[in-house]
Structure 1
Amino acid sequence: MNFLFLTGLVGIIALMFSFLTGRWIIKKQVTNQKLNEISSYIEQGAMAFLRKEYRYLTVFIVVVFVTISLFLSIKTAICFLIGAIFSILSGFFGMKVAVKANVRTAEGAKEGINKALSFAFSGGSVMGLSVVGLGILGISILSIIFNLNSEYITGFGLGASSIALFARVGGGIYTKAADVGADLVGKVEAGIPEDDPRNPAVIADNVGDNVGDVAGMGADLFESYVGSIISAITLGLTLKITSGNEEALYPIMLCGVGVLASIIGSLTIRYSKGDNPQKVLNRGTYIASVIIIIFAVVLSKYFLGDYKGFIAVLSGLVVGIAIGKVTEIYTSSDYKSVKEIANESKTGAATNIIAGLSVGMKSTVIPIILISIGILVAYFSMGGNTSPMNGLYGIALSAVGMLSNTGIVVAVDAYGPIADNAGGIAEMGAMDKSVRKVTDKLDSVGNTTAAIGKGFAIGSAALTALALFASYAETVDIKVIDLLNPLTLVGLLIGGMIPFLFAALTMEAVGKAAVKMVEEVRRQFREKPGIMAGTEEPDYSTCVEISTEAALKKMILPGILAIVIPLGIGMLLGKDALAGLLCGAVSTGVLVAILMANAGGAWDNAKKYIEGGELGGKGSESHKAAVTGDTVGDPFKDTSGPSMNILIKLMTIVSLVFAPLIAEYGGLLLNLFK
């Protein structure tokens, strides 16, 4: 157990580093009072939303805690509670600093891109290291307390997944309702710049960047990180490759090394110089990855007695980096896909949307092939041809490898919304145009890094869900998935439908909230003509309230369905139907997630490409069409898409946690016909 103490210590080091980085950011004084005032509006709106969201989640946590205590065990319920609390904290810590880093990034942009990048990335690194610090600390402590008993530790994953889904959906609805409303009325109808202080929805839009893309994303990646480790522990404990629990300890120790590697990579970015922020961010990520690869070799030999585990881990890490690069190719304005979407904007919004959907659909091909290759390499490298369980353990290790550098991946991802906020603050604070030029460059890179982060999360979701599914099958004693069994086939069809239903509910929620936002902004422009003249202050608070109420009300149904549907299918139709449901959900969920994330990112950067002066620039017909495309893409990439990977893992881990109950009492509906 000394190894678990070491990984727990690494988690504490990460949290301390995160705390010190946060203090360094906050100590930087901002002398411009106008900037401080704008930043305070954003901070107040973000914290008010989180307080209300946490009150809703408290009710959910209590209900699930009691349910698990009654039907499973109090130990599993305690692990669930800790997982839920740690998930909340991971988002809260990151956002608390992000709302301080945004204004300091805007201030730093006066000194050039390196200073601005340092503040934006440092703010993101607080989130990244909080995620991995809390994740590895929680798993280490619970593994020590419960002696690596996966029956209880899976509760920690359930807590993380359930809260992540609510946080991602709620934050996504909030941010996109505000963003769509601000863009449609402000940019298209009123013809004012993005983040213009005259737009009543501008504060809500900037608040949304924090509650959706920082707090929601932090909970999302916390869930992915924790889920991958738990799946490897669960499968590792079923194997007897070694004489002890080395199979379970290997992924935990590897992630401990990954935390330290992320700290080193973060430091190289923070103190790097260069005019290309994308290259600086990539360099830090690659440095962290190289460190992990070196130690993966050593740890594989030490814990498993050979290098098979290393090959499985390497396959995941390589596939993760490759998916990130493919995502960059499809979503960055440096490549042809985004330029083609921008070019299609010359003939209107319809052709822009057609081009964006086409790019999103094409972008599913290579990631799926890469994931498939990663699965096969991991499976057979661990001897899956002679021992299927060993092969499935290899797939779990592959997921761990893909997420072993989560600390720096999340930091790079969270940097994006901070840079975006900095640009908004610069615009509202009427700073020099050179400042906005710097923040726009950082923001454009941030769109790509955010898409890359989503790619990592989606790829790991497929691998982790497969590993968790294997643990479920082992628990309920399913040896073969029989598609000739009508129960399995029914489950498969229902599972394949769920991601589409989920996407529909979340898109609909954004659409309805956006309608209210558009009506409110139009009302203010109509009833307060002094707003456009600059003689009257917009009512920002009403727009903030519209987004808040919509997000909190509309996040409940999708979140509950993700838990109730697998339990309902398992209890009514039995374990085989539930197995089919999980297979169907993973298959369509991964594809929908990739399509939405990449199409949305490509639409966004096509708009920014035109705003950079191409094809007529801002205010042109091409720009108006691109804004419409970006508006469609907003809920794609920031609400529905990123929620898919949580959805498929949440349904799988719910099935695993309640597997003993389903194995004993499942199939109640079938029993009526016996």
Structure 2
Amino acid sequence: MGAMGEAFTQLLIPVAALVGIGFALLQWLLVSKVKVSADSDLNNGYSDRLIEEEEEGIDHEDVAAKCAEIQNAISVGATSFLFTEYRYLTIFMGVFGAIIFLFLGSVKGFSTKSEPCTYNTGSLCKPALANALFSTIAFLLGATTSVLSGFLGMKIATYANARTTLEARKGVGKAFIVAFRSGAVMGFLLAASGLLVLYVSIHLFSLYYGDDWEGLYESITGYGLGGSSMALFGRVGGGIYTKAADVGADLVGKVERNIPEDDPRNPAVIADNVGDNVGDIAGMGSDLFGSYAESSCAALFVASISSFGISHDYTAMSYPLIISSVGIVVCLGTTLFATDFVEIKNVSEIEPSLKRQLVISTVLMTAGIAIVSFFALPSEFTLFNFGSTKTVKNWHLFFCVSIGLWAGLVIGYTTEYYTSNAYSPVQDVADSCRTGAATNVIFGLALGYKSVIIPIFAIAIAIYVSFSMAAMYGIAVAALGMLSTIATGLAIDAYGPISDNAGGIAEMAGMSHKIRQRTDALDAAGNTTAAIGKGFAIGSAALVSLALFGAFVSRAGIETVDVLTPKVFIGLIVGAMLPYWFSAMTMKSVGSAALKMVEEVRRQFNTIPGLMEGRAKPDYATCVKISTDASLREMIPPGALVMLTPLIAGTLFGVETLAGVLAGSLVSGVQVAISASNTGGAWDNAKKYIEVTLIFSLSHSILQTELS
């Protein structure tokens, strides 16, 4: 069983990764069959007559040409921003990589001598200089993979937005399939490429490390650090970009000038659509990749000092990678339910179809976890647990991974309840607008704070059960369980911005009201599912952070973290403050950028003759430049705060204070993240709920007047 199991594992992981990449390419080919040209509706089973009935009196060649032009403008803007951002991040990668090398290498004075391993007595670990070098290489690999994940996701999103718009002429079902398949391209590319690069890195590093698995997997943790550090800057930079453009476009265009949200007369409309891609696609992709890489690396490192790590049981050691491999296969089957097995025929079926993806993938993954847990793991093994050992059975790990998986589903559905306008919380927020902005702000903040309760209990239960069963390794694989269906989660998440862009293109291209209704329905469902994706990201980040915290405490040799010790308590309160400091910096950055955007949009409306009448074109490029410059300039201070604080705290005040800082920021950050995310989602959908309600009331009044 040992040799056969190892051979099967060696085959399963790369094959699953390659199948995931192949499936992503297949979805891209299917999306590419929709041509963004005047003849895009020919030779595909739909006659010109059917489309002309939807768009009577509209020049189809002109519409297709406009869609292609708008798509190109969005793609060029997003690509330009990301290339500029990545130039900054390349410098950061080099500098921070050098810092990692110097810090790790200087621990043992850049020693080139092998020394006894920490946990595996009787064995020798590779020298400190080698660990520093390989950790730096792993950091650079993780950072590069994170950057590529975000960039490729953005490219497919900008490739698919106009195609989704054009397919909406044939019905909401056709548009849904294009948008979802495009999201699946990003989801599967990220999950599969992340797994493949990690697998190849381990095998290449093992050529040097040999039997020193402790040193090998300690150096591999740099892969997770690289992924998460790039995610930090990508999320902050993209977030500042998209929110500055969004505020500028809405405040001046919708509020002051009373024109539709994506009206081509609005100078900030292209920047707004670009922001959806660089923030909600590229940023979210890098963010979830960072959590995915960190959870895998944390689980691998903790496993390397377990009994099967010391005994060199390759199959058991690769359990975290096997989970990810099975997740890719499960998500592949799940995707077919949305695109092939079940046809979307009307608007009301969109959101249930997306939520059904989460349920199906969770149920199938639970069965998959049960199979691999009994196949890959020995019936009983021991784990190190803060100076002691803990005996664990293979079914314990099955429960650990499963509870992380199901806790993610609970967090997702709770997020949906608090951010969807189909339920009372968002409707209450919308109703509060009757008495002004002040009550709306109060209701929105209250909703965000209240929405924290169930996710925190879900995370707490997952932590308690997984730690009780398998110590810190249990928490690490619980986080991995929450992210095991990352391909489906990202497909659902990326679907939202693609649909949002499709609606904007329909508006700017002057397409019929029926087409815009369909794209708006896709966008409304996407808003809710995007919030669900953020819930998954936050929940998994909490578990991953705790697992990494445990690994840090074990590796630093801290037996207990005593909160009554002044150094630790000071670290706790400072750490709890950091998420608020970080949030303040990013909010102020958004405010400053939005202020410049509002002033520029107002200037163009006031100084360009014929702009409001549609006789002149706005200067889109200036608004894109404002968002680009502001986001790139303002992303550096928050990023530096996060990256430098642990280094400074640990160097100046010691590992006990650093432990307090990490614990405090973890506990505080989860609360702030969930409440802020859900408050924003609720306000956004409350706005849409009011718009839909007003339109319905107005239509009803007109109908009653005509009948009377």
Fold shared, TM-score > 0.5 on shorter chain: yes
Contact 2:362 2:406 in 1 (8 A): no
Q: CA-to-partner distance for each residue in 1:560-600, whole Å, 9 max, x for gaps?
A: 11110001000000000000001000010000000011000
Partner of 1:137: 196
Q: CA-to-partner distance for each residue in 1:289-335, whole Å, 9 max, x for gaps?
A: 22211121111112232311111111011110011010010000110
* Alpha-carbon distance in structure 2 between the residues aligned to 1:5 and 1:232: 21
Contact 1:610 1:616 in 2 (8 A): no
* CA drift at 1:614: 4.2
* Alpha-carbon distance in structure 2 between the residues aligned to 1:368 and 1:616: 38
Partner of 2:74: 42
Return the letter of the residue paired with 1:100: Y
* Alpha-carbon distance in structure 2 between the residues aligned to 1:205 and 1:52: 18
Q: Count residues in correspondence.
A: 611
Partner of 2:263: 196
* CA drift at 1:283: 2.1
Query: Counterparts of 1:143-542 in structure 2 under 5 Å?
Result: 143-147=202-206, 149-240=216-307, 243=311, 244-271=313-340, 272-274=342-344, 275=346, 276-304=349-377, 305=379, 306-380=394-468, 382=469, 390-542=470-622
* CA drift at 1:245: 4.6
Contact 2:296 2:321 in 1 (8 A): yes
* Alpha-carbon distance in structure 1 between the residues aligned to 2:685 and 2:89: 34
* Alpha-carbon distance in structure 1 between the residues aligned to 2:535 and 2:286: 16
* CA drift at 1:78: 0.8
* CA drift at 1:4: 4.3
Q: CA-to-partner distance for each residue in 1:219-259, whole Å, 9 max, x for gaps?
A: 01111111111111111122226842554311210110001
Partner of 1:125: 184
SS across alignment from 2:599: helix
* Alpha-carbon distance in structure 2 between the residues aligned to 1:247 and 1:395: 17
Return the letter of the residue paired with 1:177: A
Partner of 2:26: 20
Partner of 2:107: none
Contact 1:14 1:130 in 2 (8 A): yes
* Alpha-carbon distance in structure 1 between the residues aligned to 2:452 and 2:407: 14
* Alpha-carbon distance in structure 1 between the residues aligned to 2:336 and 2:570: 51
Return the letter of the residue paired with 2:281: V
* Alpha-carbon distance in structure 2 between the residues aligned to 1:140 and 1:281: 31
Instruction: Please tell me whether residue 545 in structure 1 is matched to residue 545 in structure 2.
Output: no
Return the letter of the residue paired with 2:306: L
* CA drift at 1:262: 1.2
* Alpha-carbon distance in structure 2 between the residues aligned to 1:421 and 1:617: 27
Contact 2:472 2:551 in 1 (8 A): no
Contact 1:4 1:144 in 2 (8 A): no
Partner of 1:625: none
* Alpha-carbon distance in structure 2 between the residues aligned to 1:4 and 1:289: 25
* CA drift at 1:126: 1.1
Query: Counterparts of 1:651-666 in structure 2 under 5 Å?
Result: none
SS across alignment from 1:483: coil
SS across alignment from 1:533: coil
SS across alignment from 1:530: coil
Partner of 2:676: 596
Return the letter of the residue paired with 2:74: I
Q: CA-to-partner distance for each residue in 1:401-436, whole Å, 9 max, x for gaps?
A: 111000100110000000000000000011111111
Contact 1:109 1:115 in 2 (8 A): yes
CA 1:204–1:311: 2 relative to 1, 3 Å: same
Contact 1:10 1:133 in 2 (8 A): yes
The alignment yields a C-alpha RMSD, in angstroms, of 1.5
* Alpha-carbon distance in structure 1 between the residues aligned to 2:418 and 2:612: 38
* CA drift at 1:270: 1.6
Return the letter of the residue paired with 1:278: E
* Alpha-carbon distance in structure 1 between the residues aligned to 2:695 and 2:664: 43
Contact 1:266 1:408 in 2 (8 A): yes
Partner of 1:626: none
Contact 1:106 1:426 in 2 (8 A): yes
* Alpha-carbon distance in structure 1 between the residues aligned to 2:102 and 2:674: 38
Partner of 1:646: none
Instruction: Please tell me whether residue 107 in structure 1 is matched to residue 166 in structure 2.
Output: yes
* CA drift at 1:282: 2.0
* CA drift at 1:618: 9.2
CA 1:232–1:153: 2 relative to 1, 3 Å: same
* Alpha-carbon distance in structure 2 between the residues aligned to 1:220 and 1:269: 25
Partner of 1:649: none
2:641 to 561, 566, 579: 561
SS across alignment from 1:23: helix
Q: CA-to-partner distance for each residue in 1:2-32, whole Å, 9 max, x for gaps?
A: 4245312322221222123223322321221
SS across alignment from 2:421: coil
1:87 to 146, 149, 152: 146
* Alpha-carbon distance in structure 2 between the residues aligned to 1:171 and 1:66: 26
* Alpha-carbon distance in structure 1 between the residues aligned to 2:230 and 2:631: 14
* Alpha-carbon distance in structure 2 between the residues aligned to 1:135 and 1:345: 45
Contact 1:300 1:308 in 2 (8 A): no
**Percent of residue pairs bearing the same amino acid type:** 49
Return the letter of the residue paired with 1:39: Q
SS across alignment from 2:262: coil
Contact 2:249 2:269 in 1 (8 A): yes
* Alpha-carbon distance in structure 2 between the residues aligned to 1:442 and 1:615: 18
* Alpha-carbon distance in structure 2 between the residues aligned to 1:303 and 1:120: 37
Q: CA-to-partner distance for each residue in 1:162-197, whole Å, 9 max, x for gaps?
A: 100010000000000000000000111111110000
TM-score norm. by structure 1 comes to: 0.89
Q: Which runs of 5+ in 1 are unaligned?
A: 383-389, 620-674
Return the letter of the residue paired with 1:84: A
Contact 1:611 1:618 in 2 (8 A): no
Contact 2:362 2:409 in 1 (8 A): no
* Alpha-carbon distance in structure 2 between the residues aligned to 1:71 and 1:360: 40
* Alpha-carbon distance in structure 1 between the residues aligned to 2:218 and 2:697: 58
Contact 1:5 1:140 in 2 (8 A): no
CA 1:34–1:617: 2 relative to 1, 3 Å: farther
Contact 1:90 1:130 in 2 (8 A): yes
Partner of 1:68: 100
* CA drift at 1:517: 0.2
CA 1:79–1:4: 2 relative to 1, 3 Å: farther
Return the letter of the residue paired with 1:357: L
* Alpha-carbon distance in structure 2 between the residues aligned to 1:525 and 1:113: 35
